[in-house]
Amino acid sequence: MNRERAGISPSRQQTEQAFLDAAERLLLREGYATITTRKLATEAHANHGLVHYYFGSMEELLLRVLERFTDRILTRQRAMYADPAVPFIEKWRKAMDYIDADLASGYPKIWYELMAMAWNNPDFRERLMRVHEQWDAVLTDAVTIAMREYGVDRKRFPPEAVAVLVRTFNEGMLMERLIGYDRGHRALLKMIDDLLRRWQKESKR
Amino acid sequence: MNRERAGISPSRQQTEQAFLDAAERLLLREGYATITTRKLATEAHANHGLVHYYFGSMEELLLRVLERFTDRILTRQRAMYADPAVPFIEKWRKAMDYIDADLASGYPKIWYELMAMAWNNPDFRERLMRVHEQWDAVLTDAVTIAMREYGVDRKRFPPEAVAVLVRTFNEGMLMERLIGYDRGHRALLKMIDDLLRRWQKESKR
DNA sequence: GTCTATACTTCGATAGAC
DNA sequence: GTCTATCGAAGTATAGAC
């Protein structure tokens, strides 16, 4: 008897989502390696037989987790960077504010667990490459506009390259924080903020 | 009969190393999640009972892998960056040359598998924090000297922050390559090389 | 649709033969 | 020191009861 006695039986949709939610919590707490159908079912307050009935296998379920999770992230990133009217420095600061909130919510841990699965799974790898492509497009656009806005020399600092720098240093920084290491992170973020502020000010003259 | 018939029985030392080598190969090929004592023993051409006899448990064995691997990396990094007489651009280019060679040899994959284990294991995390500290010290020193050499404004670009940027963007870039994504990487490396070359030339005048 | 019972496999770990 | 046999636990997956 896993469900509340007085409650109405949840729909299949709801139970599926409960499984996906539970899988994210397990990725956050223990990592992908130790997830089993039984543990997942317990976490989701559902029956472990349903995992196979709904998803076929754990592998399929985790692929669904990946898709749902990356959809969510991409939507947010697009919303954050898309508006060309917003000065880049504001987008940047908002993104940096997200870092702390995200670490508290566990987003990065889930993201990197999915990445780690992709290192050893072609289906996951394929999906994550597409996500990176889209994330790349959004960020490159924003950086291109920002550099025009700030009048930075596009020969010396190609927007494409700068966008990659931003993307990769973020990925590296978050990964370091997953092992509890953040030496110099604050100094780096301050350096970048100072730089953006200076450009922002100079471009207004 | 796992060993060659004509050969002399290998020493315990040799067999231990064979286990550690085999573990690295499995990390490279399949990731940490699927390593078992039996698979490891097959890969090492040894008996799976010896894993427990020598190391106590798979956990202990993998911790030994972590220690041996990170020792190797730190030694190389120190050798590469330590000499203050070598111009920074030469160190940098050597480091960038290593990237391709390393990816071919599988070093980064092993490194990130160990990182992924650390996300869910306090002992691993502790060890990797110390490695990052030492790596940080080496790189910060090298960057500090380089920036003095190149006469870069240390107020705007604190060496500590620059070192973190270099470290993190490298980590992020390598991680992207593990999923087969490298869009813009070449452009970014070229941008940095151009910058260093310009500084190098200007500083000689 | 949901859940339990069960088949089958594989794991870590160890006892005991050699 | 090395290897095999084996234990008990836990896994995936499914058949069949409800």
pLDDT, tens digit (0-9, with 9 covering 90-100), for A85-116: 999 999 999 999 999 999 999 999 999 999 99
State the pLDDT at residue A10.
80
Domain B59-203 class in CATH: mainly alpha
Q: Is A164 on the interface with B (CB under 8 A)?
A: yes
Mean pLDDT score, B56-82? 97
- Whether B57 CB is under 7 Å from strand C: yes
For all residues of chain A together, what is the average pLDDT?
Answer: 94
State the pLDDT at residue B8.
61
List every span in chain B annotated with CATH 1.10.10.60.
1-56
CATH number listed for the domain at residues B1-56:
1.10.10.60
Residue A59 has pLDDT above 60, yes or no: yes
The rounded distance, in Å, linking the Cα atoms of B194 and B181 is: 23
Residue A52 in tokens: 């196979």
For all residues of chain B together, what is the average pLDDT?
Answer: 94
List every span in chain B annotated with CATH 1.10.357.
59-203
B23: buried, middle or exposed (CB in 10 Å: 19+, 13-18, 0-12)?
A: buried
Protein CB footprint (7 Å) on chain D nucleotides: 1-5, 10-16
Mean pLDDT score, A63-86? 96
Mean pLDDT score, A178-184? 98
Q: Tally Cβ neighbours within 10 Å of residue B25.
A: 14
Mean pLDDT score, B113-131? 98
pLDDT-derived band at B203 (thresholds 50, 70, 90) equals: confident
- Whether A40 CB is under 7 Å from strand C: no
Q: Is A79 on the interface with B (CB under 8 A)?
A: no
The rounded distance, in Å, linking the Cα atoms of B88 and B85 is: 9
Protein CB footprint (7 Å) on chain C nucleotides: 1-5, 10-16
List pLDDT tens digits, range A9-28: 688 999 999 999 999 999 99
List pLDDT tens digits, range B137-182: 999 999 999 999 999 999 999 999 999 999 999 999 999 999 999 9
Q: Which residue bears the tokens 């707490």?
A: A29
Please, what sign has the CA dihedral across residues B116, B120, B123, B126?
positive
